Amino acid sequence: MKKRKLAAAFLSACLLGGCMKSVRLNERGIVRALGIDLPASGGCRLTMQINLPSGEDAVDKPLVIEEEGRTITDALARAAVSQGKQLFLGDCRLIVLGQALAQMDASPALDFLNTNSMITPSATVLLAEGTANEILGIQEKAPRLDAEGLIEMTEGAYHYGRAPRSRLLDLINAAESDHLAGTLAVVSVEGKGSGTSPSPDSQPDEGEASENPEESDAGSPDTPESEGASGEKPAQAEVSGVAVFDRGHLGFLMEEEAARGFGWMQKGIRGAPLVVGDERLGKVSTLTVSHRAKIVPEAVGDLLVFHMEVEIRSAVQETALSPGLTFGEEERAYAARLQERLVESQIQEAVDASRRWGYDLFGLSLLVRQKDPGFYRKHQEDWMSIVQKSGYDIQVSCEIERTGGTKQEEV
């Protein structure tokens, strides 16, 4: 017994004294972003944005590297050998999944990310519209779109109600849930030097942004000031949609209006543009000042009614009114009613998508489990049938303040 205690004390002293092999800073490759693709040859292909700290002046040297392997672990080991560095994943804040991988099966990748103790659960996870290599490789042509730039872009889309939070923790929790569906922001790349024009789907529409191209371009951090003498479109990235995951598989991509409706039911929306108008009024553009959303389940026999309530207060930024109108109290109230109809229709699109595809997008199972555990236990085996058959009472209340810079025009 004494020998065991002495051995344990000696081991502790060794550990505290630094007997474990350390890795110098200049011997590490610090991984900032990790992209995972499914190549045609099988296995996996990794794309990484890494920093190589200098041992002399400690200056980070950004680099994009690629490596293939039979597994993620194998590819990481090959990358470490080719770079002559030990790759450190503790600072990895961005993970991008390729579309082909998500469509086939991303479960092995998610298992690796979940069990790797160095990767933070709060890391942002994105789905590439195409390959992860295209998303992370854009840094070589647009340095501002490094890992931090892509994360900031996704956070902005979340606060605008155009994308979910998109964290690794949320995706893993959904994958391990019996009913909850996971959601990710979808990111696409445009203008990779081929002179291609932006997709029509990427242009703003009502309820999302100003319809004036000059105004929209001025407010976008990823829009270049000029395209250059060659006419080639500089590289840029954008959040282009919302993906729904069923455990490790891509379930479906939300339509734009459904994605907007899903966004209105999330928390954290601020500064979101909301544009409404018709022939009677003209057009009114506002930015969200405050937003509140909640879902209250109510059991009615063996069915449920989900009361979905949204309150939005926004400030006027611009008005382009019909001839002879001024933006008085009557016009303000009328514009608010138009906002309510627009937001309600978008939320209805999200509800219809949830029922049509059979996914619990809004965390309804968690709400019912908390409020009425007996009902949930009784129906948990056929929960998705309950989601599809339930009633949805959508109530939207909008209020418009007259603050901010307004511009009144005739149309």
For the cut 50, the answer to whether the pLDDT of residue 210 exceeds it is no
Determine the Cα–Cα distance for residues 39 and 229; give it in Å rounded to an integer: 36
What's the chain's length in residues? 411
- Of 54 and 404, which is predicted with more confidence? 54
Stretch among 166-180, 223-237, 253-267 having the lowest mean pLDDT: 223-237
- DSSP characters over 308-321: EEEEEEEEEEEEEE
Please give the pLDDT value at position 386.
Answer: 86
Please give the pLDDT value at position 358.
Answer: 87
Please give the pLDDT value at position 9.
Answer: 52
Mean predicted confidence (pLDDT) in 189-199: 49
Determine the Cα–Cα distance for residues 400 and 406; give it in Å rounded to an integer: 13
Please give the pLDDT value at position 392.
Answer: 96
- Number of Cβ within 10 Å of residue 89's Cβ equals 19
pLDDT in tens, 330-373: 999 999 999 999 999 999 999 999 999 889 999 999 999 999 99
- Number of Cβ within 10 Å of residue 81's Cβ equals 10
Mean predicted confidence (pLDDT) in 174-201: 70
Distances (CA, A) of 391 to 130, 170, 361: 37, 26, 15
Stretch among 4-18, 47-61, 99-113, 143-157 having the lowest mean pLDDT: 4-18
Distances (CA, A) of 258 to 100, 223, 254, 351, 408: 23, 25, 6, 8, 31
pLDDT in tens, 57-75: 444 557 999 999 999 999 9
Please give the pLDDT value at position 26.
Answer: 58
Please give the pLDDT value at position 283.
Answer: 96
Of the chain, the percentage scoring pLDDT greater than 90 comes to: 63
Mean predicted confidence (pLDDT) in 84-111: 94
Determine the Cα–Cα distance for residues 253 and 273; give it in Å rounded to an integer: 23
- Mean model confidence pLDDT for the chain: 83
Determine the Cα–Cα distance for residues 72 and 39; give it in Å rounded to an integer: 12
pTM as predicted: 0.80
Please give the pLDDT value at position 318.
Answer: 93
Please give the pLDDT value at position 306.
Answer: 96
pLDDT tier, 223 (very low <50, low <70, confident <90, very high otherwise): very low
pLDDT tier, 54 (very low <50, low <70, confident <90, very high otherwise): low
Please give the pLDDT value at position 409.
Answer: 42
- DSSP characters over 340-370: HHHHHHHHHHHHHHHHHHT-B-S-HHHHHHH
pLDDT in tens, 313-325: 999 999 999 999 9
Across the chain, which distance is largest between two alpha carbons, in Å? 97
Question: How far from the centroid of its chain's Cα atoms is residue 368's Cα?
Answer: 26
For the cut 50, the answer to whether the pLDDT of residue 229 exceeds it is no
For the cut 90, the answer to whether the pLDDT of residue 113 exceeds it is yes
Please give the pLDDT value at position 180.
Answer: 87
Of the chain, the percentage scoring pLDDT greater than 70 comes to: 79
What separation, in Å, do the N-terminal and C-terminal C-alpha atoms of the chain show?
91
Determine the Cα–Cα distance for residues 168 and 22; give it in Å rounded to an integer: 29
CB 110 within 8 A of CB 97: no
Structure tokens at 112: 């690796």
131 closest CA partner among 101, 94, 164: 101
Mean predicted confidence (pLDDT) in 105-123: 94
